Amino acid sequence: LSNFAVGSVQEGIKLRKSGIEGELIILGSVMPEEVEALFFYKLTPVVSSREELNLLKRTFKKSPLNFYLFIDTGMGRMGFLPSELETGSIKNHLYELFPQLKGVMTHFACAETDFEYTRKQLQLFAETCQKIERICGQPLKKYCANSAAFLNLPEARLDGARIGIALFGVSPTTNHLRIEKFGLKPVMNIKTRITHLKELPPGHKVSYGATFTTWRTTRVAVANIGYYWGLSRNLSNKIEVLLRGKRVPVLGTITMEQIVIDVTEIEGVRRGDVVTILGEDGNEEIRPEELAERAATIPHEILCNFGKIECRKVI
Protein backbone atom coordinates (compact mmCIF):
# COMPACT_ATOMS: atom_id res chain seq x y z
CA LEU A 1 0.00 0.00 0.00
CA SER A 2 1.33 3.41 -0.94
CA ASN A 3 -1.76 5.64 -0.74
CA PHE A 4 -3.81 6.26 2.38
CA ALA A 5 -6.98 8.05 3.42
CA VAL A 6 -7.10 9.58 6.91
CA GLY A 7 -9.66 11.53 8.88
CA SER A 8 -7.85 14.81 9.52
CA VAL A 9 -5.02 17.08 8.44
CA GLN A 10 -3.22 16.26 11.70
CA GLU A 11 -3.24 12.54 10.85
CA GLY A 12 -1.97 13.30 7.37
CA ILE A 13 0.93 15.33 8.74
CA LYS A 14 1.81 12.53 11.16
CA LEU A 15 1.96 9.95 8.35
CA ARG A 16 3.96 12.25 6.08
CA LYS A 17 6.50 12.87 8.85
CA SER A 18 6.75 9.11 9.41
CA GLY A 19 7.99 8.66 5.85
CA ILE A 20 4.83 7.87 3.85
CA GLU A 21 5.41 9.27 0.37
CA GLY A 22 2.23 8.25 -1.49
CA GLU A 23 -1.02 10.14 -1.80
CA LEU A 24 -2.57 11.09 1.55
CA ILE A 25 -6.27 11.88 1.21
CA ILE A 26 -7.94 13.92 3.95
CA LEU A 27 -11.51 12.66 4.34
CA GLY A 28 -12.53 15.14 7.04
CA SER A 29 -13.22 18.86 6.77
CA VAL A 30 -10.38 21.31 6.28
CA MET A 31 -10.48 24.57 8.22
CA PRO A 32 -8.99 27.82 6.82
CA GLU A 33 -5.98 27.70 9.15
CA GLU A 34 -5.11 24.20 7.88
CA VAL A 35 -4.90 25.07 4.18
CA GLU A 36 -1.21 26.00 4.34
CA ALA A 37 -0.42 22.56 5.74
CA LEU A 38 -2.14 20.93 2.75
CA PHE A 39 0.37 22.53 0.43
CA PHE A 40 3.42 22.11 2.66
CA TYR A 41 2.83 18.39 3.30
CA LYS A 42 1.27 17.66 -0.11
CA LEU A 43 -2.05 16.44 1.30
CA THR A 44 -5.12 15.90 -0.87
CA PRO A 45 -8.38 17.29 0.57
CA VAL A 46 -11.89 15.98 -0.04
CA VAL A 47 -14.24 18.93 -0.63
CA SER A 48 -17.69 18.55 0.93
CA SER A 49 -19.26 22.00 0.85
CA ARG A 50 -19.57 25.26 -1.05
CA GLU A 51 -17.47 26.96 1.65
CA GLU A 52 -14.60 24.53 1.19
CA LEU A 53 -14.81 24.83 -2.57
CA ASN A 54 -14.60 28.62 -2.34
CA LEU A 55 -11.71 28.36 0.10
CA LEU A 56 -9.70 26.14 -2.21
CA LYS A 57 -10.55 28.24 -5.25
CA ARG A 58 -9.05 31.33 -3.60
CA THR A 59 -5.98 29.34 -2.65
CA PHE A 60 -5.57 27.82 -6.11
CA LYS A 61 -4.82 31.27 -7.47
CA LYS A 62 -1.46 31.02 -5.69
CA SER A 63 -0.75 27.33 -6.32
CA PRO A 64 -2.82 24.40 -7.66
CA LEU A 65 -3.73 21.51 -5.38
CA ASN A 66 -5.37 18.22 -6.30
CA PHE A 67 -8.67 17.46 -4.57
CA TYR A 68 -11.64 15.09 -4.52
CA LEU A 69 -15.35 15.92 -4.42
CA PHE A 70 -17.60 14.28 -1.83
CA ILE A 71 -21.25 13.53 -2.64
CA ASP A 72 -23.97 12.84 -0.06
CA THR A 73 -25.99 10.01 -1.62
CA GLY A 74 -27.92 9.13 1.52
CA MET A 75 -25.67 9.32 4.59
CA GLY A 76 -26.86 12.81 5.57
CA ARG A 77 -23.43 13.81 6.84
CA MET A 78 -20.57 15.19 4.73
CA GLY A 79 -20.81 16.10 1.07
CA PHE A 80 -22.79 17.94 -1.58
CA LEU A 81 -26.32 16.83 -2.24
CA PRO A 82 -26.61 15.80 -5.91
CA SER A 83 -29.14 18.59 -6.47
CA GLU A 84 -26.59 21.20 -5.31
CA LEU A 85 -24.37 20.34 -8.26
CA GLU A 86 -27.06 21.66 -10.58
CA THR A 87 -26.56 25.22 -9.32
CA GLY A 88 -24.70 27.54 -11.65
CA SER A 89 -22.04 28.72 -9.20
CA ILE A 90 -20.89 25.22 -8.26
CA LYS A 91 -20.94 24.13 -11.90
CA ASN A 92 -18.71 27.08 -12.75
CA HIS A 93 -16.33 26.29 -9.90
CA LEU A 94 -15.99 22.69 -11.03
CA TYR A 95 -15.40 23.73 -14.62
CA GLU A 96 -12.68 26.15 -13.55
CA LEU A 97 -11.01 23.69 -11.17
CA PHE A 98 -11.37 20.47 -13.18
CA PRO A 99 -7.59 20.10 -13.87
CA GLN A 100 -7.10 19.60 -10.12
CA LEU A 101 -10.22 17.44 -9.56
CA LYS A 102 -8.94 13.86 -9.25
CA GLY A 103 -12.12 12.03 -8.40
CA VAL A 104 -15.46 11.71 -6.63
CA MET A 105 -16.42 9.93 -3.42
CA THR A 106 -19.46 9.00 -1.37
CA HIS A 107 -20.09 6.96 1.77
CA PHE A 108 -22.64 4.22 2.45
CA ALA A 109 -24.95 4.48 5.44
CA CYS A 110 -25.72 0.80 6.06
CA ALA A 111 -23.65 -1.46 3.82
CA GLU A 112 -23.46 -3.94 6.71
CA THR A 113 -27.20 -4.60 6.82
CA ASP A 114 -29.33 -2.98 4.11
CA PHE A 115 -28.07 -3.98 0.67
CA GLU A 116 -31.10 -2.56 -1.14
CA TYR A 117 -30.55 0.93 0.28
CA THR A 118 -26.83 0.64 -0.43
CA ARG A 119 -27.48 -0.24 -4.07
CA LYS A 120 -29.76 2.81 -4.35
CA GLN A 121 -26.92 4.95 -3.05
CA LEU A 122 -24.56 3.33 -5.53
CA GLN A 123 -26.94 4.04 -8.42
CA LEU A 124 -27.35 7.69 -7.39
CA PHE A 125 -23.58 7.99 -7.08
CA ALA A 126 -23.07 6.61 -10.61
CA GLU A 127 -25.62 9.03 -12.06
CA THR A 128 -24.07 11.99 -10.22
CA CYS A 129 -20.57 11.06 -11.34
CA GLN A 130 -21.73 11.06 -14.96
CA LYS A 131 -23.05 14.61 -14.54
CA ILE A 132 -19.81 15.79 -12.97
CA GLU A 133 -17.75 14.21 -15.73
CA ARG A 134 -19.88 15.99 -18.32
CA ILE A 135 -19.23 19.30 -16.57
CA CYS A 136 -15.47 18.67 -16.36
CA GLY A 137 -15.14 16.95 -19.71
CA GLN A 138 -12.91 14.18 -18.37
CA PRO A 139 -13.22 10.79 -16.62
CA LEU A 140 -12.71 10.81 -12.87
CA LYS A 141 -11.73 8.23 -10.27
CA LYS A 142 -14.65 6.95 -8.22
CA TYR A 143 -14.50 5.67 -4.65
CA CYS A 144 -17.40 4.62 -2.46
CA ALA A 145 -16.82 1.23 -0.79
CA ASN A 146 -16.03 0.98 2.90
CA SER A 147 -15.11 -2.40 4.43
CA ALA A 148 -18.72 -3.59 4.54
CA ALA A 149 -19.42 -2.68 0.91
CA PHE A 150 -16.09 -4.12 -0.22
CA LEU A 151 -16.95 -7.47 1.38
CA ASN A 152 -20.69 -7.59 0.61
CA LEU A 153 -21.07 -5.77 -2.72
CA PRO A 154 -18.23 -6.35 -5.21
CA GLU A 155 -19.92 -4.02 -7.72
CA ALA A 156 -19.21 -1.11 -5.34
CA ARG A 157 -15.43 -1.48 -5.46
CA LEU A 158 -15.06 0.74 -8.57
CA ASP A 159 -11.59 2.35 -8.74
CA GLY A 160 -10.68 1.55 -5.16
CA ALA A 161 -12.05 0.96 -1.68
CA ARG A 162 -11.57 2.72 1.63
CA ILE A 163 -11.24 -0.38 3.80
CA GLY A 164 -10.66 0.45 7.43
CA ILE A 165 -11.59 -2.25 9.91
CA ALA A 166 -11.01 -5.01 7.36
CA LEU A 167 -7.31 -4.04 7.35
CA PHE A 168 -7.27 -5.24 10.96
CA GLY A 169 -8.77 -8.57 9.91
CA VAL A 170 -12.02 -7.73 11.68
CA SER A 171 -15.55 -7.90 10.31
CA PRO A 172 -17.65 -4.70 10.22
CA THR A 173 -20.57 -6.72 11.61
CA THR A 174 -21.13 -9.05 14.57
CA ASN A 175 -23.13 -11.47 12.41
CA HIS A 176 -21.48 -14.84 13.03
CA LEU A 177 -22.33 -16.30 9.63
CA ARG A 178 -20.80 -13.34 7.82
CA ILE A 179 -17.69 -13.43 10.00
CA GLU A 180 -17.11 -17.03 8.91
CA LYS A 181 -17.90 -16.18 5.28
CA PHE A 182 -15.39 -13.32 5.13
CA GLY A 183 -12.60 -15.48 6.61
CA LEU A 184 -10.92 -12.49 8.23
CA LYS A 185 -8.18 -13.11 10.79
CA PRO A 186 -7.54 -10.35 13.35
CA VAL A 187 -4.01 -8.97 13.39
CA MET A 188 -4.24 -7.12 16.71
CA ASN A 189 -3.90 -8.76 20.12
CA ILE A 190 -4.45 -7.12 23.49
CA LYS A 191 -2.62 -8.73 26.39
CA THR A 192 -1.85 -7.86 30.00
CA ARG A 193 -0.45 -9.59 33.09
CA ILE A 194 -1.63 -10.76 36.47
CA THR A 195 -0.36 -8.48 39.25
CA HIS A 196 -2.11 -9.87 42.32
CA LEU A 197 -3.70 -13.13 43.51
CA LYS A 198 -5.93 -13.85 46.49
CA GLU A 199 -8.65 -16.16 47.79
CA LEU A 200 -12.09 -14.81 48.64
CA PRO A 201 -14.67 -16.57 50.84
CA PRO A 202 -18.26 -17.26 49.72
CA GLY A 203 -20.49 -14.17 49.90
CA HIS A 204 -17.66 -11.67 49.30
CA LYS A 205 -18.36 -8.61 47.12
CA VAL A 206 -16.11 -7.74 44.17
CA SER A 207 -15.18 -4.31 42.75
CA TYR A 208 -17.02 -0.98 42.66
CA GLY A 209 -20.74 -1.07 43.25
CA ALA A 210 -20.50 -4.61 44.65
CA THR A 211 -22.10 -5.92 41.47
CA PHE A 212 -20.71 -9.43 41.89
CA THR A 213 -20.86 -11.71 44.92
CA THR A 214 -18.82 -14.91 45.21
CA TRP A 215 -20.94 -18.03 45.69
CA ARG A 216 -18.02 -20.29 46.65
CA THR A 217 -14.46 -19.99 47.84
CA THR A 218 -13.00 -18.17 44.85
CA ARG A 219 -9.42 -17.62 43.79
CA VAL A 220 -9.25 -14.30 41.99
CA ALA A 221 -6.53 -12.51 40.08
CA VAL A 222 -6.10 -8.82 39.33
CA ALA A 223 -4.89 -7.87 35.84
CA ASN A 224 -3.74 -4.45 34.73
CA ILE A 225 -6.23 -3.18 32.18
CA GLY A 226 -9.40 -1.12 32.51
CA TYR A 227 -11.59 1.46 30.84
CA TYR A 228 -8.78 4.03 30.74
CA TRP A 229 -6.93 1.70 28.38
CA GLY A 230 -9.99 0.89 26.31
CA LEU A 231 -11.78 -2.02 27.96
CA SER A 232 -15.27 -0.58 28.21
CA ARG A 233 -16.97 -0.42 31.61
CA ASN A 234 -20.13 -1.58 29.80
CA LEU A 235 -18.53 -5.03 29.57
CA SER A 236 -18.50 -5.48 33.34
CA ASN A 237 -19.75 -8.95 34.34
CA LYS A 238 -20.28 -9.79 30.65
CA ILE A 239 -17.00 -11.04 29.24
CA GLU A 240 -14.30 -13.64 29.57
CA VAL A 241 -10.55 -13.39 29.06
CA LEU A 242 -8.00 -16.08 28.23
CA LEU A 243 -5.52 -17.49 30.71
CA ARG A 244 -3.32 -20.51 30.04
CA GLY A 245 -5.46 -21.46 27.06
CA LYS A 246 -8.79 -21.35 28.89
CA ARG A 247 -11.63 -18.86 29.24
CA VAL A 248 -12.12 -17.24 32.64
CA PRO A 249 -14.83 -14.72 33.60
CA VAL A 250 -14.29 -11.09 34.55
CA LEU A 251 -15.93 -10.47 37.91
CA GLY A 252 -17.61 -7.24 38.92
CA THR A 253 -17.14 -3.75 37.55
CA ILE A 254 -14.26 -3.03 35.19
CA THR A 255 -12.32 -0.23 36.87
CA MET A 256 -10.10 2.47 35.43
CA GLU A 257 -6.92 0.38 35.23
CA GLN A 258 -7.74 -3.06 36.64
CA ILE A 259 -10.02 -6.06 36.26
CA VAL A 260 -10.70 -8.97 38.58
CA ILE A 261 -10.91 -12.45 37.07
CA ASP A 262 -11.95 -15.83 38.47
CA VAL A 263 -9.01 -18.26 38.23
CA THR A 264 -10.41 -20.92 40.58
CA GLU A 265 -10.49 -23.57 37.85
CA ILE A 266 -6.99 -22.87 36.51
CA GLU A 267 -4.12 -24.65 38.23
CA GLY A 268 -0.75 -23.07 38.89
CA VAL A 269 -1.67 -19.46 38.16
CA ARG A 270 1.14 -17.10 39.11
CA ARG A 271 1.79 -13.41 39.34
CA GLY A 272 3.06 -12.27 35.91
CA ASP A 273 1.00 -14.77 33.90
CA VAL A 274 -0.22 -13.37 30.57
CA VAL A 275 -3.95 -12.60 30.23
CA THR A 276 -5.38 -12.25 26.71
CA ILE A 277 -8.16 -9.70 26.27
CA LEU A 278 -8.22 -9.94 22.46
CA GLY A 279 -6.52 -12.66 20.49
CA GLU A 280 -5.65 -16.35 20.71
CA ASP A 281 -4.33 -18.51 23.54
CA GLY A 282 -4.08 -22.20 22.76
CA ASN A 283 -7.26 -23.33 21.01
CA GLU A 284 -9.31 -20.42 22.32
CA GLU A 285 -9.82 -17.03 20.70
CA ILE A 286 -11.58 -13.80 21.68
CA ARG A 287 -12.38 -11.56 18.72
CA PRO A 288 -13.37 -7.86 18.66
CA GLU A 289 -16.76 -8.90 17.22
CA GLU A 290 -17.47 -10.91 20.39
CA LEU A 291 -16.75 -7.94 22.66
CA ALA A 292 -18.81 -5.69 20.40
CA GLU A 293 -21.81 -8.00 20.59
CA ARG A 294 -21.63 -8.14 24.39
CA ALA A 295 -21.24 -4.36 24.66
CA ALA A 296 -24.12 -3.75 22.20
CA THR A 297 -21.84 -1.74 19.92
CA ILE A 298 -19.82 -2.26 16.73
CA PRO A 299 -16.34 -3.80 16.34
CA HIS A 300 -14.97 -0.44 15.15
CA GLU A 301 -15.58 1.11 18.58
CA ILE A 302 -13.95 -1.81 20.37
CA LEU A 303 -10.73 -1.34 18.40
CA CYS A 304 -10.74 2.46 18.62
CA ASN A 305 -11.08 2.30 22.39
CA PHE A 306 -7.69 0.59 22.70
CA GLY A 307 -5.89 3.44 20.94
CA LYS A 308 -4.42 4.77 24.19
CA ILE A 309 -2.26 1.70 24.76
CA GLU A 310 1.33 2.84 24.22
CA CYS A 311 3.18 -0.42 24.87
CA ARG A 312 2.98 -1.98 21.40
CA LYS A 313 4.86 -4.73 19.63
CA VAL A 314 4.69 -4.75 15.83
CA ILE A 315 5.26 -8.19 14.30
The 3 state secondary structure assigned to 31-85 is CHHHHHHHHHCCCEEEECCHHHHHHHHHHHCCCCCCEEEEECCCCCCCCECHHHH
Cβ count near 5 (within 10 Å): 20
pLDDT of residue 302: 95
Task: Quote the CA–CA distance of 251 and 212 in Å, as a whole number.
Answer: 6
- The CATH H-level (homologous superfamily) assignment of domain 190-308 is Lyase, Ornithine Decarboxylase; Chain A, domain 1 (2.40.37.10)
Task: Quote the CA–CA distance of 236 and 251 in Å, as a whole number.
Answer: 7
- The CATH H-level (homologous superfamily) assignment of domain 4-163 is Alanine racemase (3.20.20.10)
pLDDT of residue 70 exceeding 90, the answer is yes
Which of the 8 DSSP states describes residue 282? T
pLDDT of residue 64: 79
Helix (H, G, I), strand (E, B) or coil at 10: helix
**Domains in the chain: boundaries:** 4-163, 190-308
pLDDT of residue 56: 82
Predicted TM-score of the model (pTM): 0.87
**Sheet of strand 24-26, all strands in order from the earlier edge strand to the far edge:** 4-6, 24-26, 44-47, 67-70, 101-105, 141-143
CA dihedral 190, 314, 26, 19 (to 10 degrees): 160
Let me know how long the chain is: 315
pLDDT in tens, 170-188: 999 888 777 888 888 999 9
Task: Quote the CA–CA distance of 59 and 153 in Å, as a whole number.
Answer: 38
pLDDT tier, 88 (very low <50, low <70, confident <90, very high otherwise) = confident
pLDDT in tens, 13-59: 999 999 999 999 999 999 999 998 999 999 999 999 988 888 888 87
Mean pLDDT on 110-127: 96
More confident residue, 218 or 60: 218
**Residues in CB range of 253: below 8 A, 6 or more apart:** 207, 208, 209, 211, 233, 236, 237
Beta-bridged to residue 276, according to DSSP, are: 191, 242
Residues 67, 56 contacting (CB under 8 angstroms): yes
pLDDT of residue 11: 95
pLDDT of residue 61: 67
Q: In this structure, which amino acid lies at residue 139?
A: P
Helices (H) and strands (E) in the chain, counts: 9, 15
pLDDT of residue 203: 97
pLDDT of residue 55: 85
pLDDT of residue 177: 74
Query: What share of the chain has pLDDT > 90, as a percent?
Result: 76
Segment among 46-60, 159-173, 268-282, 290-304 with least mean pLDDT: 46-60
Cβ-defined contacts of 207-216 (< 8 Å, 24+) = 207/236, 207/251, 207/252, 207/253, 207/254, 207/255, 207/260, 208/252, 208/253, 208/255, 209/252, 209/253, 210/252, 211/236, 211/237, 211/252, 211/253, 212/237, 212/251, 212/252, 214/251, 216/264
pLDDT of residue 136: 83
